[in-house]
Every structure is written in C-alpha cells, then in structure tokens.
Structure 1
C-alpha cells in the first residue's frame, strides 16, 4: 500500500475552503468565506488552548504539522509556533525529527501557539506517533495498513488553515472515527463557536452502531490486543482492507441509474446562483449532464463503492465550475442515499439522509451521534452545509478539547 503522504487521495483540504471565494461563486459545499477586515490583520500565530477532558490517564502528545504558508515548505511547529522545515527524506523512508509537544494531563489545559499553516494538529495517547520522510515529503500514519507503526496507537487529528483571511478548523472523520474531540474559535467580537461535540454516550454509540450493522460494517472497528477500541476505519479503507465487500453500494447505484434513465436529476451546485442548473439523464449506461441550453457539459460512468466513499475516481471533482460542483453533489447524494428520494440536489435538510438500507452506514452512525448533527464523515460532507467546520476572519484564539470516551 502506498505511503500516506500529506494530501493523499486528492481529498479536499482546508486550504481549498480558505481559497474557495476566488472561484467567483459560492459552492453549495460550505459557508461563504469572509475575508478578515483590513484593520484586524491576523497575526503570525494565535493561541491554541488544549483541554484534556478525556478521563484517560495516559500522557498526551501533540503535533502541529503542515505547510508553512509563508514559504510553501512542509514541516512542523513547536509549542511557540516556530516553523521547522522537514529535512530531506529517503527511500526507504527515514525517521522524521521528534515533533511532539507534551500535551495536558487529564483534567488540565495547556496553551500553545498555532502558526499560519495549512495542516493538521495530531494528538496521541500513551505513545508518540512515528512519522517518516520520503523523498516526496512526510509519510502520514496509514492505520488501514496492518504493518503501519502507528497501528496500535490511540490517536486522532484536526485539520486547519490559518492565513490572512482567518482560521478554518474542523473535526474530521473522513479517514477514521477515533479518540473524540471538539474544536472551537474565539471570534473577533468576543463570541465563541465550537463544533464536533458528541452527544452523551455518542462515542460508544458510533462503535456499537457499526458493530451491529450487517454487511461487513462491523469489520471497520479496530481494536488493540488488550481489547481497547482504537478506531473505526472509514469505509473507503474498509474496501482497501477487504473489511467491506466491493459491491456494497451496487444495489443503490443500479436503482439510481434505472430511475434517471427515464427521469431527470437536477443539480443546482451554487447557492448564490439558483438559476445555474445542470440536468442529468442516463443514456447508454452513462449519466450525461446538460446545461440550460441543452449542451452536454460532463458525463459520469456508473460509480462503484470506491468512487463513492472516496469521492474520487469515477466521481473525480476537479476545481472547476462544472464537473467538480456536479461531482461533489453526486458524491454527497450517493453517500447519503438521497438521489432516489429527491431529484433536486443537493439537499439542504438532513431529514431524508441515510434512509435507504444501502447507504454509508459509517456516516449515518457518526452524524446521528453528533450533538448538532454535523460531521465530516466523507470528503464532501460539506455539501449543503452539514460539515463540522468553524471559521472566523479575525480569530483571537483556537481550542481543541479532548472529550470523554463514553
């Protein structure tokens, strides 16, 4: 299996969110980006408050890793927010420098400085993570690979971008559901916003829901030899490891293709352009999309589960004004199983999500256990504003809270 370098699978990153406004339209995939007022320039670093409410006694290690936006170089930051570029890697990969920052003990808090990165803040319990460097950059943990050195470590991460337009920080489950946490920002007006909080009992609720779901979904739960639940793999990795059958979504896809052989699927991808619509019909086993003039603008072959769960391959989403926005909408509709019940996409309400027996049960379980229903359970979970993301153009502080395992 290929090493998991930063940005693998071409998945949507927060730097995309931070620059979405340059497209000249607001995609129906998240809140509009608001630039910071000129009089409130974002400083080089902002405080990041780490609070440990996990109830666990192990030592916590924190890592701030990503791309330094001033130089474009990859590296890590120390507790003071000072950037350290990675040294050259090798083939085979060589050990990376120890980038760990001691985290807060149970019941305690600690403040570090968050620099202008597009990257991740990792945290691990009990053991330090092992990062390696190739000639192409940093190798991220790839716990779907049984031989990955981090496979038996309990850890998680948040993704963030801090730049001159503000802070974007999320709670992500795109790759896995693991050690619970929530994130927040103190806004320039003194108010606060938090996201990613589970309901009481939500952590065990997600795990138990997947363990009780037939069809291979229980195989996504990874445990340590002592019985500790380490994580639930996202279904894309379930396909890669053989935990989920490759045909897990075929029945739903076949029904969608049949429906739109005689009906039209209407996609309105831009919230601020309600008259900019694309119309999908299946012909010759291909879904063709036309614009308002009737010209074919893009086409999709019947997607498989890999393309659906990864929002890639047959559902590739280039950063353009046509195929990408349509593909993002299709990806969301397949994962949420709304394409049969609503011929007008995307959905603004979550009331009809995950109702079909063939659906992304991983995403269903996670969203059902979130206090506000919002999550990043697949790459384009922000279609229709259902994602766990907070943003402010003039952030005063950021926060990550390590939440209870209950």
Structure 2
C-alpha cells in the first residue's frame, strides 16, 4: 500500500491555505461551464477562507474503481458528554455540485435554495445528535467534493446561507460568530467515482480529538489514531514550555472559552493572520543561514515529478535560483508558516509549483542545514531538531498517538518511500468510514 500511495502522491498536486481569513467562510456554489468539445463539465473553484482542504483526488482513469454512489459513515461519540452533534457538508458531485448538508436523520440530503439576504437560516435541522458516550450513528452520504465531517461538543453549530447560494461555516476568527465559543472541529474528505480520501487536519487549529478508520470491500482496514482525550492539553503544555524556553508567542496560540476552559489551539499561521506581529522575525536567522549555505553549494530539490531533480543556488542578487524552476527570495516567517505567500505563492510555472511544497516543508521542518537534498535526503528523526523550527507542528505530531495529521499545508511531503505524516486514508473500494470524536479509547492501529 505504501508504494501505491507514493505513486498516487506524485500524480497529485498540493496546495496551501488561503492568504487571509474572512470573518466567516462561505462555500460558493460552483458553476457549470461548457468544455472545449461542447460537453458539460463541472467547475469546482478553490474554496475561500481559511479552511482549505489538502485533499488529493485521483483521476478516475488511473485505476478502475469499485466505488458506489453512496458511502456509509459511522459517527462515534467518544467524549464524556451526551451533548455531541455531527454535521456533514460538501458539494454534491452528481447534483451539479450544489451545496450539500445532511439532515438530522443522517440520511436525507438538503440542498439550500438561493436566499434573498445574507445570513439566512437553514430551513431544516442538520444537527445529527450522537447520543450518550459510546453511542454511534450511521450516516449515508452521496459523492461529495470538498467534504467535511464536523463535530461540536456542548452546543450545536449554526450554519447560515448567503445569496449564491453560499454556505457560511463556523469561524474561529470572528468573535461575533455564534460558534466562536463552541468546541468544534472537523475531518476533511472527498468521495467521488474513483475513491474516498479523508484526512484529519491541524493546519488551522487543534480542536476535539478526531480519529479515522476506513474499511474496504476486501475487508482491509486503515486507521488514523488522532489525539487521545487529553491530547489538546498535552499540546497546550508543550507550547507553554516552548515559550518559557525561547520567549516566543507559542503559548499565545492557546485559546480559552468564556469560562476560562481550554477551547482550541491556533496554528502559527492562524495566529499571525489575527496578530501580524507574532513571529515576525522568528525565522530570520535560520533563513539567513540557509541562504548563506547555498551561496557556495547547490540545493537539490527532488520534484518527485517529471522535472526530476533540480538544483538551485543563491546568486549575487540574493535569490535562490532554480533556473527554469524560478527564483526564490528569502521567505518571511509568515511565508513559511502559511506555505502560500511570498516565494511560496503558486503560479503558472509547473516546475516552480513542484519546488514550492518541498522547499516550504523543509523550512517548516528546519532540515535545510542538515542535508542539501530535499526531501529525499531528509530523515524523519531530523524533523524539527533545529531550535528555530515549527514547534507547533513538532508538538502536535508528538501528541498524536501515531504521530500523524496535517500540521502545516505541505505536511504530506515525504521522501520517496517515506512514511506519510499527514494522517490521510484513501481507498478505491470503500465500504465504511468510521469517524470518532473525543479521543476516549483512541488506539494505534
């Protein structure tokens, strides 16, 4: 399976988060436009706001799939609360990519109509109650793009609709959002005619623990462990200790609710978007050391694509020059944490776009002074060992039972044949996806 996953990873693009948060994220309703041959094709735009997914979608022609039109999703309450709700949202692939929400009965689809005003309430109940701790509810979903399985603990979430229609999702950035002080989180997925792909994500924040188990028609099981029940407190403790050690803003990423109870933990990128001065000069010394080192020797980037291995060196103007692969000016801390701004902004040059993820990942993991070949020259034990590194990612990975989960946008970059760090599962023939919230009974499998 690992070799197959590596080949799929090479076929698929990676993307980072959006540059800036909106007060609330609105999912647009994609349009349908004619293709060059006159056939109708679905145009699925990149979703705006902070909650960009990092999902890889396999071209159906790359392998014959045994995917049906529906998928069973078992939603498990592994918290200590009886007030837990689940929500499933996405864009219905076989319904003109219309905005989709699953109703409270966990089987009936709801496609919100286009409202006349912003912030319109949903006409149906989409809060799926999970019942007492240990209880499970099985949901049935159609094929969806940009899917999310949401959980909230202690209170239901509030979704609204804007003209378009556009779904307004819960925001961690807007204090006026009715969900701002609710404990919530989500897993991301795509379910199409080729496969199901699902992952846990800490790219924007850490919320309640979520684990994944995927069963296929052959009886094979894959599992992502997620955090144990006390995992978010472990991360908070680690960030506090790191601030005591280096005096940086790591502990400022910890968010408490109105009662002073630990609610969530922001990623550095989210923290910077809310407070631009945080970490402003954090990576400066490390970046200067990297650019000094590669002014006298080349840096080799394994593009893991048709471009092969490309060499770059810092020239007289101070840019890391990869020739046809583009020039990379020194990134700021914000560029490194976001993976999507400054020299890491993607464009029309395909070769540049394959260099960006691997270079951005190496800066987040601080491996560029340890090897001159990335990612194939890197070893897992070298990640985050420099004092200047993405300590949020280091601490988050350490807190997860299996060490997996997207902690920054390009956390799926690994050496050829290396172990994935992103906490993702996929199958060409899925039969049951189990998503558990709360962390009680979490295990490594």
TM range (shorter): 0.7 to 0.9
Deviation at 1:233, TM superposition (A): 0.5
Kindly indicate whether residue 384 of structure 2 is the aligned counterpart of residue 359 of structure 1.
no
Structure-2 separation of matches of 1:10 and 1:175: 7
Structure 2 matches for 1:237-256, cutoff 5 A? 237-242=270-275, 244-256=278-290
Q: 3-state SS of the aligned residue for 1:368?
A: helix
Deviation at 1:141, TM superposition (A): 2.0
Kindly indicate whether residue 341 of structure 2 is the aligned counterpart of residue 313 of structure 1.
yes
Pick the aligned partner of 1:18 from 41, 57, 63: 57
Task: Tell me which residue corresponds to 1:216.
Answer: 249
Structure 2 matches for 1:389-400, cutoff 5 A? 389-400=424-435
TM-score by length of 1: 0.87
Pick the aligned partner of 2:310 from 278, 284, 305: 278
Kindly indicate whether residue 105 of structure 2 is the aligned counterpart of residue 73 of structure 1.
no
Deviation at 1:64, TM superposition (A): 0.7
> Any unmatched runs of 5+ in structure 2?
1-20, 28-46, 415-419
Structure 1 contact 36–394 (Cα < 8 Å) conserved: no
Name which of structure 1's ranges 133-142 and 211-220 shifts more when overlaid on structure 2: 133-142
Task: Tell me which residue corresponds to 1:260.
Answer: 294
Structure-2 separation of matches of 1:12 and 1:382: 15
RMSD: 2.5
Q: 3-state SS of the aligned residue for 2:176?
A: coil
Pick the aligned partner of 2:110 from 77, 84, 96: 84
Structure 2 matches for 1:199-214, cutoff 5 A? 201-214=230-243
Deviation at 1:363, TM superposition (A): 0.6
Deviation at 1:199, TM superposition (A): 5.5
Kindly indicate whether residue 423 of structure 2 is the aligned counterpart of residue 388 of structure 1.
yes
Task: Tell me which residue corresponds to 1:293.
Answer: none
> Any unmatched runs of 5+ in structure 1?
23-33, 291-295
Deviation at 1:11, TM superposition (A): 7.2
Q: 3-state SS of the aligned residue for 1:245?
A: coil
Kindly indicate whether residue 127 of structure 2 is the aligned counterpart of residue 127 of structure 1.
no
Structure 2 matches for 1:320-359, cutoff 5 A? 321-347=350-376, 349-359=379-389
Structure-2 separation of matches of 1:11 and 1:151: 15
Give a deviation string over 1:202-249, Cα, whole Å, max 9, x none: 332212101222101101010112232110001111112228332222
Task: Tell me which residue corresponds to 2:30.
Answer: none
Pick the aligned partner of 1:302 from 319, 326, 330: 330
Pick the aligned partner of 1:105 from 124, 132, 138: 132
Q: 3-state SS of the aligned residue for 1:322?
A: helix
Structure 1 contact 337–358 (Cα < 8 Å) conserved: yes
Structure-2 separation of matches of 1:9 and 1:131: 15
Give a deviation string over 1:128-148, Cα, whole Å, max 9, x none: 112233335222222133232
Q: 1:307 to 1:139 in 2, by over 3 A?
A: farther
Structure-2 separation of matches of 1:280 and 1:18: 30
Structure-1 separation of matches of 2:229 and 2:129: 28
Deviation at 1:377, TM superposition (A): 0.6
Task: Tell me which residue corresponds to 2:88.
Answer: 64
Structure-2 separation of matches of 1:259 and 1:339: 9
Name which of structure 1's ranges 363-372 and 84-93 shifts more when overlaid on structure 2: 84-93
Structure 2 contact 325–349 (Cα < 8 Å) conserved: no
Structure-1 separation of matches of 2:227 and 2:428: 26
Structure-2 separation of matches of 1:236 and 1:17: 22
Q: 1:227 to 1:206 in 2, by over 3 A?
A: same
Give a deviation string over 1:75-103, Cα, whole Å, max 9, x none: 21234544322222566433344422222
Pick the aligned partner of 2:191 from 125, 143, 162: 162
Kindly indicate whether residue 121 of structure 2 is the aligned counterpart of residue 95 of structure 1.
yes
Deviation at 1:4, TM superposition (A): 2.2
Structure 2 matches for 1:47-58, cutoff 5 A? 47-54=72-79, 56-58=80-82
